[in-house]
Structures are given as C-alpha cells and as structure tokens.
C-alpha cells in the first residue's frame, strides 16, 4: 500500500516538475514611447504566437531559454533571447524602429511631349453643330427627317376618307 502511495506521489511530483518549465513573459511594444497595436510576438521553441493589444501589451508562455521574435510590417523585426535566471516577473519593453524600404535604381530621362492642338478639337464639326444644340428627335415637329412614315400617312388618309 505504501509503495502504491509513493508511486502516485512521485507521479504528481514529476508532473508538477515538468509543468513548471514554461514561464510567462509580459511586455510592451513601443515606437518612441507610443504603443504599437497588432504586433506579432512569436516564441521559436514553443511556437506560441500572440498579438499586442491597443496599449501595445502582451503576455506569452515560453521556455526559459527561448527566443522571441517581435515583428510588424513596416518595422524592423527584433529577436529577444530570454535569460533563464530571470524566470519570475519577466517583463520586456521592446522598441521597434520603422524599416527603411529602399527602391531599386530609378533612371530619369527627358521626354518629348507630343504636340497637342486644343484648337483643332474646338474647330471640329460635330453632328448637329450648326444650331449648337442637338435636335430632340422625340418631339415631332412636322418634318420628315428619315423618310416618309407610310403608316401614319395611311392612317391620316383613312381618317380623312372616313369623315366624308
């Protein structure tokens, strides 16, 4: 009975010993003392990933000899090697620096502009330009523009004959 009890106690002690290998790291990510929101903090050993809140604060569970990678698009990434002797109350303040994206070589040459004659556009004759306003084709003004409307002509003739 004592042996079984000691085995159970030993099992719990081993379990507690292994569970204590992880530690919490708290921190803040800033740029010129202004907190940065949405920064990814990645633990390389445990593969944990957290993102900073609106105040730039984060908490992550890591191993004592872990490496943190802190990065955000537009900023230079930082690597932080954790010190295993500071296992309790580990607080990190990370200062991110904006990255400098360099452009490839740009060649500036002279450019000959094509001749553009705006007066030519003004002088161009457009459809119905003699009266400077287009003719409204929906209103009938009695003229025959596209030929004779035989249907209307037949109806008019029929109405004249039927009256007599």
Q: What is the pLDDT of residues 15-61, one digit of tens each?
A: 555 555 678 888 999 999 899 999 999 998 888 899 999 999 999 88
Cα distance between the two ends of the chain: 132
Compute the distance between CA of residue 23 and CA of residue 116 in angstroms, rounded to an integer: 72
Compute the distance between CA of residue 78 and CA of residue 83 in angstroms, rounded to an integer: 16
Token pair in block for residue 113: 């502009």
Tell me the domain boundaries of the chain. 21-95
Three-class SS of residue 155? helix
CATH numeric code, 21-95: 2.60.40.10
Q: How confident is the model at residue 113 (pLDDT cuts 50, 70, 90)?
A: confident
The model's pTM: 0.49
Compute the distance between CA of residue 11 and CA of residue 2 in angstroms, rounded to an integer: 14
Contact yes or no for 52/41 (Cβ under 8 A): yes
The segment with the largest mean pLDDT, out of 51-55, 98-102, 106-110, 146-150, is 51-55
Contact yes or no for 25/42 (Cβ under 8 A): no
Compute the distance between CA of residue 97 and CA of residue 36 in angstroms, rounded to an integer: 11
Q: How many residues does the structure list for the chain?
A: 164
Q: Is 146 exposed, middle or buried (0-12, 13-18, 19+ CB in 10 A)?
A: exposed
Give the contacts of 97 (CB within 8 A, at least 6 positions apart). 31, 75, 76
């Amino acid at each position: 009975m004592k042996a079984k009890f000691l085995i159970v106690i030993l099992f719990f002690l081993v379990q507690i010993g292994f569970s204590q290998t992880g530690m919490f790291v708290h921190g803040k990510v800033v740029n010129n003392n202004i907190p940065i929101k949405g920064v990814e903090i990645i633990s390389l050993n445990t593969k944990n990933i957290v993102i900073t809140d609106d105040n730039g604060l984060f908490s992550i569970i890591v191993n004592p000899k872990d490496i943190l990678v802190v990065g955000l698009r537009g900023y230079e990434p930082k690597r932080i090697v954790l010190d295993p002797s500071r296992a309790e109350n580990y607080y990190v303040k990370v200062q991110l620096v904006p990255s400098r994206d360099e452009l490839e070589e740009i060649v500036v040459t002279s450019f000959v502009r094509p001749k553009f004659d705006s007066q030519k556009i003004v002088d161009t004759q457009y459809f119905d330009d003699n009266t400077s306003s287009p003719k409204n084709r929906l209103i009938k003004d009695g003229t025959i523009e596209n030929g004779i409307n035989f249907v209307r002509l037949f109806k008019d003739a029929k109405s004249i004959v039927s009256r007599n």
